[in-house]
């Protein structure tokens, strides 16, 4: 079966574990570089991206994650995890000089907390390309992909912002697909992204 790691330094990793297990994947929590060995894909969960970035430095995981991708591994970042995948990050806290490290594996500019204070959190019945019916998408202080490179395909938009994009073996969702029990996007990751199937245009 497909072997998937879930980065388990911080955030909503247990929920991903459960959905993946329900789909028959072999799941492992990733905390150390050695945990990546033999995996087909890795999920970077939601949480708080500046905290997660600090922990990636502490656990020396930046280069191993880039090497995992370069060697053919698939990645999926949800919310804070999507911020970690991006080429550039807007809206990093002022105490970090407005700058924030990221993996740079997805050709997008991501804007943190893109949906403003009034609507910090909301749930949308989100039309997603390739799904027959809308996906119940939970947005929690969510980012948006404000610039999307030519190699990326936008798979969903909410309130005029790109919120789901894919570039080959890298998938990013601004929302939390692990909180509703709907397994369709996890199935998509396992069947299409990990297998690097072409996006249907």
Kindly tell me which residue out of 46, 64, 73, 77 binds ligand GLN, with binding defined by CB under 6 A. Answer: 46
Out of 16, 69, 176, 186, the active site residue is 176
How many chain residues bind ligand GLN (CB under 6 A)? 11
- Which one of the spans 20-28, 42-50, 54-62, 67-75 is the region binding ligand GLN (CB under 6 A)? 42-50
Tell me, yes or no, if 79 is annotated catalytic: yes
157 is an interface residue for ligand GLN by CB under 6 A: no
Tell me, yes or no, if 178 is annotated catalytic: yes
Distance in angstroms (rounded) separating the CA atoms of residues 142 and 125: 16
**Which residue number, 75 or 83, has a Cβ lying nearer to ligand GLN?**
83
48 is an interface residue for ligand GLN by CB under 6 A: yes
Kindly tell me which residue out of 61, 90, 128, 140 binds ligand GLN, with binding defined by CB under 6 A. Answer: 140
Out of 15, 79, 152, 186, the active site residue is 79
Q: Which residues bind ligand GLN (CB under 6 A)?
A: 46-49, 79-80, 83, 112-113, 140-141
């Amino acid at each position: 079966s497909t072997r998937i790691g879930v980065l388990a330094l911080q955030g909503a990793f247990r929920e991903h574990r459960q959905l993946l297990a329900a789909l028959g994947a072999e799941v492992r929590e990733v905390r150390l570089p050695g945990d990546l060995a033999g995996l087909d894909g890795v999920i970077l969960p939601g949480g708080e991206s500046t905290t997660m970035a600090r922990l990636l430095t502490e656990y020396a995981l930046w280069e191993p994650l880039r090497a995992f991708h370069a060697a053919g591994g698939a990645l999926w970042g949800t919310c804070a995890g999507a911020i970690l995948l991006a080429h550039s990050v807007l809206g990093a806290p002022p105490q970090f000089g407005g700058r924030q490290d990221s993996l740079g594996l997805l050709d997008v500019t991501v804007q943190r907390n893109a949906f403003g204070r009034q609507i910090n959190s909301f749930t949308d019945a989100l039309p997603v390309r390739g799904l027959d019916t809308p996906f119940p998408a939970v947005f929690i202080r969510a980012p948006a992909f404000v610039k999307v490179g030519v190699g990326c395909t936008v798979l969903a938009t909410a309130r005029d912002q790109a919120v789901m994009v894919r570039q080959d073996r890298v998938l990013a969702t601004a929302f939390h697909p692990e909180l509703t029990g709907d397994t369709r996007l996890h199935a998509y990751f396992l069947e299409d992204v990990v297998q690097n199937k072409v996006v249907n245009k």
